[in-house]
Amino acid sequence: MTAFLTLIIVLFIAVAIWQMVKIFDLAQVGTSNDQVATDKDNKINGYLMMGFLVFIYAITIASFWYLGDLPLMSNSASAHGPGLDNLMIISMVLIFIVQTFTQFLLHYFAYKYKGEKGRKALFYADNNTLEAIWTFIPVVVLAGLIIYGLFTWTSIMNIDESEDPLVVELYAQQFNWKARYAGEDNTLGMANVRLIDIDRANILGLDESDPYAQDDIITTELHLPVGRPVLFKMRSQDVLHSAYMPHFRAQMNCVPGMITQFGFTPTVTTADMRQNPDIEEKVANINAIRLENKDQIEAKGQELTYEFDYLLLCNKICGKSHYNMQMKIIVETQEEYDAWIKEQTTFKNSLPTK
């Protein structure tokens, strides 16, 4: 019965719409042009264009005002960081100038030349000089940026093994990180996921017969001595992950089936970074925010007070808990590092005796 009633109602509505269409059609004898912009529309929208220009500038200023301390463009913690930050700042300033200027022209012209009946536009189809100017200027500017960028890129990616870098493997799996130190020989032992033996706690698949593997050390926290170049070798056991260390301006994907690498020199210890006035301010700000959301944070079982730490994040979608795949990084003095590493168990000693 309900279905029948619904059907009837739908039918009536359809008839009503059809009749209304007819009435609308009859009401419009001939056609009209009143949905085309009039001088009044041009004027209003011309003014709104200027208003919109103000809005663009306002949202730029507001973003800098409220969020300006967020971008990682200073206080880098690696040797190559300042160079990269410089390039970023130069590019940003450039973008900012071009943005301000071109948005002004675009919206100002839209306001200035808003249409009026009877006025005729200027028939101006081409000008080779102008075209040449705005081809040439970007060419020069971009050439500069490309050259600067390529020098920076090459110096970051070229790893100088003669400097005797500390070799560390970053090992990714759904959804956590492990670090493997190469031990006293500073050479990582052979490894393959096919050799993983959970029963023997050989979780990274090290070759138990490889002499280089015996002194390897597997940890769940990444400790780095300050001032010494580190060469990271990345591995993944399941899907793509990306080892992202934003404070060090470092990132590299971890790809199953191959070993990728990235090197940098940490320059600021965790303790020193915590004393940095900018970081202190940031931490105080974050803690104020956390205090406001006290209930939620405690309900999740997190600690209320935040203390600054360097982090390694996963930055390539890797599955359900991608959003919680992290490892703490601690940069410390050589002595502190030596003391820490001495306490860790070597691979050989971690294996159950046969």
Partner 1 sequence: MSAHADTHAHDDHGHHHKETFVTKYIFSQDHKMIAKQYLITGTIMGVIGVLMSIMFRMQIAWPEQPNVLFEALLGKWAPEGVMDADIYLALVTIHGTIMVFFVLTAGLSGTFSNLLIPLQIGARDMASGFLNMVSYWLFFLSSVVMIISLFVEAGPAAAGWTIYPPLSALPMAQGGSGAGMTLWLVSMAIFIASSLLGSLNYIVTVINLRTKGMSMTRLPLTIWAFFVTAIIGVVSFPVLLSAALLLIMDRSFGTSFFLSDIFIQGEVLHYQGGSPVLFEHLFWFLGHPEVYIVLLPALGITSEIIATNSRKPIFGYRAMVMSILAIAFLSTIVWGHHMFISGMNPFLGSVFTFTTLLIAIPSAVKAFNYITTLWKGNLQMNPAMLFSIGLVSTFITGGLTGIILGDSALDINVHDTYFVVAHFHLVMGISALYGMFAGIYHWFPKMFGRMLNKNLGYLHFWVTAICAYGVFFPMHFIGMAGLPRRYYTNSNFPLFDDTANANVVITVFAIVGGIFQLVFLWNFFSSMFFGKKTVQNPWRSNTLEWTAPVKHIHGNWEGEIPHVHRWAYDYSKPGHDDDYVPQNIPLKDGEEELQH
Taking the least distance from each CB to partner 1, the nearer of 202 and 214 is 202
Any contact of residue 252 with partner 1 (CB under 8 A)?
yes
Provide the β-strand partners of residue 231: 167, 263
Return the closest-CA partner of residue 212 out of 121, 100, 346, 330: 346
Any contact of residue 249 with partner 1 (CB under 8 A)?
yes
Written as six digits, the tokens of 248 are 């060090």
CB of 199 to partner 1, least distance (A): 11
Which listed range, 6-14, 135-143, 177-185, 213-221, lies at the site for partner 1 (CB under 8 A)? Answer: 135-143
Q: Is residue 208 within 8 Å of 193, Cβ to Cβ?
A: no
Taking the least distance from each CB to partner 1, the nearer of 251 and 333 is 251
Taking the least distance from each CB to partner 1, the nearer of 84 and 217 is 84
Any contact of residue 276 with partner 1 (CB under 8 A)?
no
Among 1, 124, 129, 353, binds partner 1 (CB under 8 A): 124
Which helix (H) or strand (E) segment is 215 a member of? Answer: none
Written as six digits, the tokens of 18 are 């059809």
Q: Is residue 253 within 8 Å of 230, Cβ to Cβ?
A: no
Any contact of residue 88 with partner 1 (CB under 8 A)?
yes
Taking the least distance from each CB to partner 1, the nearer of 136 and 211 is 136
Written as six digits, the tokens of 88 are 């970023």
Tell me phi and psi for residue 217, to 5 degrees.
Answer: -125, 125
- What is the maximal distance between C-alpha atoms in the chain? 98
Any contact of residue 178 with partner 1 (CB under 8 A)?
no
Which listed range, 4-12, 85-93, 221-229, 270-278, lies at the site for partner 1 (CB under 8 A)? Answer: 85-93
Provide the β-strand partners of residue 312: 327
Any contact of residue 330 with partner 1 (CB under 8 A)?
no
Any contact of residue 49 with partner 1 (CB under 8 A)?
yes
Return the closest-CA partner of residue 232 out of 152, 351, 329: 329
Which parts of 194-213 interact with partner 1 (CB under 8 A)?
194, 196, 198, 205
